[in-house]
Structure 1
Amino acid sequence: MKYLLKYSAALLLLALLVSGCREEPNYPNEPTIAFDRVDQYTYTKNRITFDSLVVVVDFTDGDGNLGLRRTPTGNSDPDFQPPFDQSSPYFNNFFANLQIKRGSIYVPYPFPVASLNLNGRFPRLSTDDQDETLEGEIRYTLTNFSNDIFDPRDTVRFEIYIYDRALNKSNVVYSDDVVLFQGE
């Protein structure tokens, strides 16, 4: 019994030391994403049926420079200066191109105004500007898909990619099919 207590303390200390030596993963500096899922919420308001879709992608990034602030912190906020100013193609960092299934193929959804899209910004994922490995998930909410615009049972999917603050583009992924107005 005396030896059991003596050696168990040493084994416990060794286990704590080994578990504390976990090596940081080594990811490339370009973001990488993988489609996870689409959460679908269907509701009716004033006799119009709506879908709210939450697109979830998993990500990794080797230097942690993901995200842009959604509102400026001042006139010189770097997240709103070129190349991230409003007239730039890099103003948004999350791109979700809507595709609708026609027969057995997908075609880009024809928005009534060419400048309309589902792109947007996700916030900074690191609190400072130091390089750090990041991994996790981004949950991006798309609202107001309504049955006065889409036909019930339309099947859609999303072509998704992101940019980091160094303007590195991630890989492109596609969501699973989403049959509109079925998520009750």
Structure 2
Amino acid sequence: MKLKNYSLFVIPILFTWSGCISPPENFPTVPEIEFKNMEFVQTTSADSLILTISFRDSEGDLGLNARDIFPPFNELNYLTDNNGNYITYSNRPEEAPDFNNRDWVIFPLINNVEIPDTLWVAENPDHYNIFVDFFIKRGGTYTEFDWSDPPYFTTFDGRFPRMLEEERSRSIEGQIRYSMLSLGWNSIFRTDTVRLEVQIQDRSLNRSNVVTSPDFTLSQIER
């Protein structure tokens, strides 16, 4: 679970889950999810946007732990040129982005060796197992609010921990409660109408169906 610090945002992503092990055996190999609830909780520190979904999976291979950092679950891919050399900021091509904390890594540790330079990287989507996209509705049209764009350079995709530690296959069902913390919910969305699209992925890289939340404003789901 990654903690990102920005002038506007502090974004730890928190999970809890509850459920049943070995329910009926006709569960799907590809995870299935359903939208359950959205809540907005304001505090004296970071505010929380809380999503709850239900899930069903026949193998129970849901979740990633801290040790799941090797391919295909590695966090970053280090980009190379045609000769196989890492692309550094000082020798970046014209199409490379300007420096930001998402596209460039300073002095990375690769295979336990520190590289004394700034390298161009791309996030590996399979590092995550829950994917959340935000859409704002204006004039009847939904437009994606892309957190990877300036000035945020971030994501609300995340990782929830393994639900079963043993590797043997067992059917599971339950609910995931996913809390996204930020200092900026009110300043960004204010009275906007928002909806979320959500998907999860198992360790075999099977992606679930996409579920969509109902339209909401922060005030409508505040508790």
The change in CA–CA distance for 1:40 and 1:115 in structure 2 (over 3 A counts) is same
Equivalent position of 2:37 in the other structure: 37
Q: Give runs of ≥4 in structure 1 deviating > 2 Å.
A: 22-25, 42-45, 110-115, 145-150
Moved more, 90-99 or 23-32: 23-32
Equivalent position of 2:165 in the other structure: 127
Confirm or deny that 1:159 pairs with 2:188: no
Tell me which protein shows more helix as a share of its residues.
Answer: 1
Correspondence for 1:146 among 175, 180, 185 = 185
Confirm or deny that 1:60 pairs with 2:96: no
| Deviation of 1:23 (Å) | 7.5
User: With structure 2 as the length reference, what TM-score do the two structures score?
Assistant: 0.62
* AA of the residue aligned to 1:41: V
| Deviation of 1:113 (Å) | 4.5
Correspondence for 2:145 among 101, 109, 113 = 109
| Deviation of 1:181 (Å) | 4.2
Q: Aligned partners of 1:162 and 1:41: how far apart in 2?
A: 24
| Deviation of 1:43 (Å) | 3.8
Which SS does the other structure have where 2:187 is aligned?
Answer: coil
Which SS does the other structure have where 1:137 is aligned?
Answer: strand
Does the CA contact (< 8 Å) of 1:98 and 1:118 recur in 2?
Answer: no
Does the CA contact (< 8 Å) of 2:57 and 2:173 recur in 1?
Answer: yes
* AA of the residue aligned to 1:179: T
Q: Aligned partners of 1:58 and 1:30: how far apart in 2?
A: 14
Which SS does the other structure have where 2:134 is aligned?
Answer: strand
| Deviation of 1:41 (Å) | 1.0
Does the CA contact (< 8 Å) of 2:194 and 2:216 recur in 1?
Answer: yes
Q: Aligned partners of 1:102 and 1:174: how far apart in 2?
A: 17
Moved more, 59-68 or 139-148: 139-148
Q: Aligned partners of 2:73 and 2:203: how far apart in 1?
A: 9
Which runs of no fewer than 5 residues in structure 2 stay unpaired? 1-21, 77-123
How many residues are matched? 151
| Deviation of 1:142 (Å) | 1.0
Moved more, 105-114 or 23-32: 105-114
Q: Aligned partners of 1:23 and 1:174: how far apart in 2?
A: 25
Q: Aligned partners of 2:36 and 2:23: how far apart in 1?
A: 26
Which SS does the other structure have where 1:149 is aligned?
Answer: helix
Q: Percent identity?
A: 39
| Deviation of 1:44 (Å) | 5.3
